[in-house]
Chain A
Amino acid sequence: MSTQHMPLWEVFIRPRNGLHHKHVGSIHAPDDEMALQAARDVYTRREEGNSIWVVRSNDIVASDPDKAAENFDPAGEKVYRHPSFYDIPDEVGHM
């Protein structure tokens, strides 16, 4: 058994122009080139996309899940950021 772990890569695919690349899963590969090839074989067998990004999992900087509340809950109180907070006459129609 090989002692060295094959690096892990996260795979992002753009389904078609006009859409964002979206995370679809991960694969193992020794380098960037083979990571792209493996991602193509594993995740796009049925025209799932026209562009692939791969990034080493270790290189992703992510927010601390323990700080999810302090990061994201305050937005919940800011109702004035939404259109429904403002009263305007019905006669105005769609605005």
Chain B
Amino acid sequence: MYSQGLIGADTTTEETEEFLAAFQARIDREEKIEPNDPMPAAYRKTLIRQIGQHAHSEIVGMLPEGNWITRAPSLRRKLALLAKVQDEGGHGLYLYSAAETLGVSREQMTEELLAGKAKYSSIFNYPTPTWADIGAIGWLVDGAAIMNQVPLCRCSFGPYARAMVRICREESFHQRQGYELMMTLAKGTPEQKEMAQDALNRWWWPSLMMFGPSDSDSSHSDQSMKWKIKRFSNDELRQKFVDATVPQAELIGLTMPDPDLRWNEAKNGGQGGYDFGAIDWDEFWRVVKGGGPMNRDRIAARQKAWDDGAWVRDAALAHAEKRRARAASATLEAAE
């Protein structure tokens, strides 16, 4: 009791006005909230949803890249890709364990993902038809994820913040190996360069969508900022990502697929920044709601992994039970 094993525990709190004010005051003082602390039901629910979605994204995110492990063009690239995909699996597990401290079970989260009730990042519903997609994912998708995740290291909920610190430490290699891969292709034969440009063309806009709807259309944003779960708005983070990434493309001779992209001196309070074209939000919502090119495949792959693993989980539990029983009867015999 009172450790982090809160699964199934009674977590209700009486939410008087004084309680809510005191809770907000703790947040405003930058105090961290830990699993056993009283918290508003909506704070708990928001975090379970967000951390769960984040965990699912890491796990589903293994699929598009996993697609290329057997076909990596060199041992060096294969080692990097294997290590990266394994890291993403680890990230999913750190995050599931953080979500579980809020009282939700792993089984429940898995069930919601497989039933299509829990979301994951829309970016993983795009296919990876060429090797250059592996470069584009590392550079852009992990790059966008880093932009999102660095401020989450200061999230008000302790277990989430700590998981994010571990994750951020591991992400930088993901982005660098992707950028290096793109750079190598861009410096290669005309066909290789074209392959890199084609991947950039397909991944750029979906990467911008990773930051979520515009601030004017984002339903959860305000309250999450007040609770210091989020520190920057979707549009602020998206702008930072564009400003950081455009020069990286120029440096390796690739072109962003956006005719409206241009430097604007007046942006970011006079520091300058890039204006960019309109995002196709219809596409975003279509993909989030299950209409992306790979939504069905991704869930089918997760379902298959879960089903195929059932006998392993059952056997492992049975084996553990047998060992326990044997150890118990050995102690009994020794006592006789």
Of all chain A residues, the one with the shortest Cβ separation from B5 is A57
- Assess whether B258 is interfacial by the CB under 8 Å rule: no
Render B26-66 as a binary contact track against A, CB cut-off 8 A, 1 for contact: 00000000001100000000000000000000000000000
Would you call B87 and A30 a contact (CB within 8 A)?
no
Would you call B163 and A62 a contact (CB within 8 A)?
no
Chain B residue contacts of A61, Cβ below 8 A: 1, 3
The number of chain B residues with a CB under 8 A from chain A is 34
Tell me the B86-110 residues at the A interface (CB within 8 Å).
86-87, 90, 93-94, 97-98, 100, 105-107
Question: Roughly how many angstroms separate A43 CA and B1 CA in the complex, as a whole number?
Answer: 25
Would you call A45 and B86 a contact (CB within 8 A)?
yes
The segment out of B128-136, B179-187, B317-325 that lies at the interface is B317-325
Would you call A26 and B107 a contact (CB within 8 A)?
no
With A31-B319, A31-B320 known as contacts, the answer to whether A60 contacts B97 (CB < 8 A) is no
Chain B residue contacts of A62, Cβ below 8 A: 1-3, 36
Question: Roughly how many angstroms separate A61 CA and B93 CA in the complex, as a whole number?
Answer: 24
With A30-B316, A58-B5, A62-B2 known as contacts, the answer to whether A25 contacts B106 (CB < 8 A) is no
Render A3-28 as a binary contact track against B, CB cut-off 8 A, 1 for contact: 01110101000000000000011111
Would you call B111 and A1 a contact (CB within 8 A)?
yes
- Assess whether B313 is interfacial by the CB under 8 Å rule: yes
- Assess whether A64 is interfacial by the CB under 8 Å rule: yes
- Assess whether A74 is interfacial by the CB under 8 Å rule: no
Of all chain A residues, the one with the shortest Cβ separation from B309 is A2
- Assess whether B20 is interfacial by the CB under 8 Å rule: no
- Assess whether B21 is interfacial by the CB under 8 Å rule: no
With A31-B323, A45-B86 known as contacts, the answer to whether A2 contacts B106 (CB < 8 A) is no
Would you call A25 and B97 a contact (CB within 8 A)?
yes
- Assess whether B4 is interfacial by the CB under 8 Å rule: yes
With A26-B97, A42-B94, A60-B5 known as contacts, the answer to whether A65 contacts B36 (CB < 8 A) is yes
- Assess whether B79 is interfacial by the CB under 8 Å rule: no
- Assess whether B15 is interfacial by the CB under 8 Å rule: no
- The distance from the CB of B155 to the nearest CB of chain A, in whole angstroms, is 16
Chain B residue contacts of A84, Cβ below 8 A: none
Question: Roughly how many angstroms separate A29 CA and B270 CA in the complex, as a whole number?
Answer: 54
Question: Roughly how many angstroms separate A57 CA and B5 CA in the complex, as a whole number?
Answer: 6
Would you call B2 and A63 a contact (CB within 8 A)?
yes
Would you call B107 and A5 a contact (CB within 8 A)?
yes
Would you call B87 and A8 a contact (CB within 8 A)?
no
Of all chain A residues, the one with the shortest Cβ separation from B95 is A25
Question: Roughly how many angstroms separate A2 CA and B324 CA in the complex, as a whole number?
Answer: 20
Chain B residue contacts of A5, Cβ below 8 A: 7, 105-107
Of all chain A residues, the one with the shortest Cβ separation from B106 is A28
Chain A residue contacts of B94, Cβ below 8 A: 25, 42
- Assess whether B217 is interfacial by the CB under 8 Å rule: no
Chain A residue contacts of B7, Cβ below 8 A: 5, 8
Contacts A10-B4, A26-B4 known; list 6 others, CB within 8 Å: A45-B90, A46-B170, A62-B2, A62-B3, A63-B2, A64-B2
**Chain B residues within CB distance 8 Å of chain A:** 1-5, 7, 36-37, 83, 86-87, 90, 93-94, 97-98, 100, 105-107, 111, 162-163, 166, 170, 310, 313-314, 316-317, 319-320, 323-324
**Chain A residues within CB distance 8 Å of chain B:** 1-2, 4-6, 8, 10, 24-31, 34, 41-43, 45-46, 57-58, 60-65
10 contacting pairs across A/B (C-beta < 8 A):
A5-B7, A5-B106, A6-B106, A6-B317, A26-B100, A27-B93, A30-B320, A58-B5, A63-B2, A65-B2
